[in-house]
Amino acid sequence: MRVLRWQFLIVCALLLGPPARADQEYDELLKGFREAQQKFYADYQKAMEKSKNESTSMPAFDMANPPFMAEFRSKFQKYAEKMAGKPDAIPALVWMITSERGGPSDKPSETVKSALETLQKSHLGQAEIADSLDELQYSFWSVGRKPLIELYEAIIKENKDKAAQAAASFNLAFLLYSGHGDDMPPEMKGAAGDKERAQELFRKVAGEYKGTPAAEKADGYVYEMEHLQIGMVAPEFEGGDVEGKTIKLSQFRGQVVVLDFWGFW
Amino acid sequence: MLPHERELVKKLEGKPFTLLGINSDGSRSALKDILEKEKITWPNIQDESPGTGPIAKRWNVHGWPTIYILDHTGKIRFKDLRDEKMEEAVMKLIDEISKPGDPK
């Protein structure tokens, strides 16, 4: 079931998607990528139906490494080179890191390594990096924890912008906290003391950077760490059922309760 | 998930057990259709949509499904167990009710 859980996280990460950019050329690039992605999966679906209906063999589709990915990796890389040193390069470099699929892995590819190095070398102090860090939240699964921890720590140290510091601190805290799930495979396990450090960082982001998007998210994790841990009494809540009738958690006291947060949407 | 949950609820009828759904499908009418179609008989709270539902937000839920298992005193005892593992945990906690003095 561990696998299932991470699939959900990855789907969430994909749904978040990259934010809209003012730069038209970058927008075009992103649009082209999304179209190529949609076309690839649509073709795959069609081929699957065809082979099923006509009982013919399925043509080869490289799902792990679809050809459009290689094409767009080089396009995003070219864009990043063209914008070298400017904040405009940041989303393209981040795209290259998030484009890495698969995992769990603690060995970043050459493309990822080079993108991380460029971010470290030329963009640590730029305020705009705050807007792109959210997308990296789940990338540790495919590129490893260590390079991302180093990146976030460097941003916290070098960047004077409040939102950038908040975003890097939140991502660092999230990474440290994620390494402590019981369902984490060995290559994703954190070190002793990470959980405490994460808690401290979440508190700091929620308190010192109030008003930033990172602070609101950090607040959720502070609450989780203080009220929703194993051994703690579940906080009361209430809500309406399909008929609008109120259901309170406390009305089930005395019974074993499975809380299932679910949806089909 | 669902087939196993249906089975578990049926199996534990009359026992001190409740499966409480917190649903993020956007509206009461959407949830009503799903409950009928999927033959879901256990209590469900309609908690708006992902990102807006006040209960899921307070419980810092970012992935669906997310599972918490509480004992009869209201304490959180397990997180994110599914299917057979969920059933094992529930059985263990039901046993504890009749055998008080267990550690934890």
SS (H, E, C) chain B: CHHHHHHHHHHCCCCCEEEEEEECCCCHHHHHHHHHHCCCCCCEEECCCCCCCHHHHHCCCCCCCEEEEECCCCEEEEECCCHHHHHHHHHHHHHHHHCCCCCC
Q: From A243, which residue of chain B is nearest by alpha-carbon distance?
A: B28
* Interchain contact, B85 vs A237, CB within 8 Å: no
Q: How confident is the model at residue B100 (pLDDT cuts 50, 70, 90)?
A: low
Residue in B20, B76, B82 nearest the CB of A252:
B20
CA distance A52 to chain B (A): 27
- A46: Cα separation from own chain's centroid: 30
DSSP, res A138: T
Residues of B in contact with A230 (CB under 8 A): 76-79
Amino acid A22: pLDDT: 52
Amino acid A101: pLDDT: 82
A20 contacts chain B (CB < 8 A) = no
Q: From B85, which residue of chain A is nearest by alpha-carbon distance?
A: A1
> Is the CB of residue A58 less than 8 Å from the CB of residue A50?
no
Amino acid A187: pLDDT: 84
A235 contacts chain B (CB < 8 A) = yes
Residues of B in contact with A258 (CB under 8 A): 17-20, 67-70, 86, 90
Question: What's the rounded Cα separation, in Å, for the pair A147 and A140?
Answer: 9
B52 contacts chain A (CB < 8 A) = no
A234 contacts chain B (CB < 8 A) = yes
> Is the CB of residue A69 less than 8 Å from the CB of residue A7?
no
Residues of B in contact with A9 (CB under 8 A): 62-63
User: Each residue of A158-215: pLDDT tens digit?
Assistant: 999 999 999 999 999 999 998 877 778 888 888 889 999 999 999 999 999 998 889 9
Other Cβ atoms closer than 10 A to A116: 20
B9 contacts chain A (CB < 8 A) = no
Amino acid A205: pLDDT: 97
DSSP, res A252: G
Q: From A10, which residue of chain B is nearest by alpha-carbon distance?
A: B63
* Interchain contact, B16 vs A183, CB within 8 Å: no
* Interchain contact, A263 vs B64, CB within 8 Å: yes
Q: Which CATH superfamily is domain B2-96 in?
A: Glutaredoxin (3.40.30.10)
> Is the CB of residue A219 less than 8 Å from the CB of residue A206?
yes
User: Each residue of B5-23: pLDDT tens digit?
Assistant: 999 999 999 999 999 999 9
CA distance B101 to chain A (A): 15
Residues of B in contact with A238 (CB under 8 A): 45
* Interchain contact, A261 vs B90, CB within 8 Å: no
B94 contacts chain A (CB < 8 A) = yes
* Interchain contact, B21 vs A221, CB within 8 Å: no
Phi first, then psi: give them for residue A253, nearest 5 degrees. -55, 140
B72 contacts chain A (CB < 8 A) = yes
Q: How many CB pairs under 8 A join A and B?
A: 162
Helix (H, G, I), strand (E, B) or coil at A248: strand
| pLDDT by position in tens, chain A (length 265) | 344 455 555 555 555 555 554 579 999 999 999 999 999 999 999 999 999 899 888 888 888 888 999 999 999 999 999 999 999 999 999 999 999 888 888 889 999 999 999 999 999 999 999 999 999 998 999 899 999 999 999 999 999 999 999 999 999 999 999 887 777 888 888 888 999 999 999 999 999 999 888 999 999 999 999 999 999 999 999 999 999 999 999 999 999 999 999 998 7
Q: Locate the domains of chain B by residue range.
A: 2-96
